[in-house]
Copies of this chain bind each other. A is one copy, B any other.
Amino acid sequence: MLRVDLVIRGCMILTMGEAGLVRDGVIAVKDGLLAYVGRMIEAPSFEADTIIDGSGKIAMPGLVNCHTHAAMSLFRGVAEDKPLDVWLRETIWPLESKLRREDIYYGALLSCIEMIRSGTTCFSDMYFHEDMVARAAMEAGLRCVLSSGIIDAGHKTLGRILLREAVKIAREYHGVSDRVFVMLGPHALYSCSLDLLRKVRERAEELNVGVHIHLAESERDSANIRSIHGRSEVDLLGEVGLLGPRLLAAHCIHISDGDIVLMAKHGVKVAYNPVSNMKLASGIPRIKDLLDAGVVVGLGTDGPASNNSLDMFETMKFAALLQKARYGDPRVLPAKKVVEMATIDGARALGLDGLIGSLEAGKKADIILVDINKPHLKPIHDVYAALVYSARGSDVDTVIVDGRVLMENRRVKTVDEAEVMRRAEEKAYNLLSRRSVARGIARKILKI
């Protein structure tokens, strides 16, 4: 009789590792790690305080959201159906300039609840005051990768201040816990000078952390950059020394064949955000070509203001279908590959595949149970297709991170949902009422 902390019995297991799909499986967790993952019939006897009945459920690795701005839940539904630049300049930036640290905390906490409720166990965030996002994630019990946003937009002082803040947060959090990881987050090539990007690369090397950037998202910005520098965005990243296996590039829509070769050669990782790309009409990234070239691609939702959801099950469906439509071929991105992108490939994109992304003994116990006893999931002829094409985030029944049960029977156990909804809503409405003031302050900031 082996003594462990938690056992899940009788479920089908999508390991997303070498064992593939295990029917009638059992999972044992000890000290936050997976102690056993396999068939019940071959398993040793376990003794545990917590035993979860997994019958009628699929156990799979918690989903990995590679690109979001969690605190932007406060802006969900503000200024809809607008072009990206109008949306940013007239609404989002003026509002962001008025954000207080507490706003970010409650916005991120609201998003953490949404992520737990839809099966995400690890998210990669880029925003300001990321220590507030860390606080929210720690409280909610999620695993996260923080990228402090860095931007100069022609204002050297601004870049210096934000880089200093990013380095400070990196020093504070990097390597302290297995639950919070750090990258530096230079916003994009159109909002960061090459000089700033070089400094970011130097700091990232010193700190031994990765870099997370928006790359080739907007056709107009990409064209602008090409006309100013005479080179593509990917080329420019090479010039400042940022191309490499620890670069996480979100979007990557307006790129050439040559760019893809370069990205593959340097092992650059991509975060594919199909819903945001469609909603903002940014264009359709060539994910099939990136995958064919050997590039690792994870999935992201982007921020809740440009999606407007953090449901990675929804993102899986959009991810698959957008590529089929893009290439005019229903065979492109089959369901199983999409589940890989949402789990093990996402973990690879974040450099965390040694810890998470598959259910294999020795890895972290980040597990979700999906309830398949639902009319819209019956009959199940193909498990991967059921998860990608039929399941919704609301089918997730149980969420476990680091061996700790964050949600059970759809009840979140770590935070008071009603209270967080109330506070976040209050913060959002309060922020909007400060909007006219915000415009003035935004102008002031841009005059630094």
Contact = CB atoms under 8 A, between A and B. Distances in A.
Nearest to A275: B321
A375 B114 contact: yes
A311 interface: yes
A335 B81 contact: yes
Interface stretch (A59-67, A125-133, A169-177, A384-392): A384-392
A329 B281 contact: yes
Contact of A77 (B110, B321, B327, B380): B380
A31 interface: no
B80 A376 contact: no
A47 to B, nearest CB: 33
A279 B389 contact: yes
B279 A80 contact: no
Nearest to A113: B375
B331 A81 contact: yes
B325 A421 contact: no
Contact of A324 (B279, B335, B382): B279
Interface stretch (A238-246, A302-310, A398-406): A302-310
Contacts of A375: 110, 113-114, 117, 417, 420-421
Given A309-B389, A376-B309, A392-B392, A77 B382 contact: yes
Interface string A78-90: 1011111001000
Contacts of A78: 381-382
B379 A334 contact: no
Interface string A265-295: 0000000000101111101100000000000
Contacts of A284: 325
A186 to B, nearest CB: 25
A413 B104 CA distance: 43
Given A77-B385, A81-B334, A82-B330, A379 B324 contact: no
B428 A379 contact: yes
A351 to B, nearest CB: 28
Interface residues of A, number: 71
Interface string A421-436: 1001100110010000
A118 B374 CA distance: 12
Contact of A110 (B278, B378, B432): B378
A76 interface: yes
A76 B322 contact: no
A334 B76 CA distance: 15
Between A117, A281, A314, A429, the greatest number of chain B beta carbons within 10 A of the residue's beta carbon is seen for A281
Contacts of A417: 375
A390 B76 contact: yes
A389 B283 contact: no
Interface of A: 73-78, 80-84, 87, 110, 113-114, 117-118, 275, 277-281, 283-284, 307-311, 314, 317-318, 320-322, 324-325, 327-335, 373, 375-376, 378-382, 384-386, 389-390, 392-394, 417, 420-421, 424-425, 428-429, 432
Of all A-B residue pairs in the complex, the 9 with the closest CB atoms, nearest first, are A278-B321, A77-B381, A77-B382, A394-B394, A81-B334, A379-B428, A308-B389, A278-B325, A80-B385
28 contacts: A74-B379, A76-B379, A77-B379, A77-B381, A77-B382, A77-B389, A78-B381, A80-B334, A80-B335, A81-B330, A81-B334, A83-B330, A83-B331, A84-B330, A117-B376, A279-B320, A279-B324, A280-B324, A281-B328, A283-B328, A308-B385, A308-B390, A309-B390, A318-B318, A373-B421, A375-B421, A376-B393, A379-B425
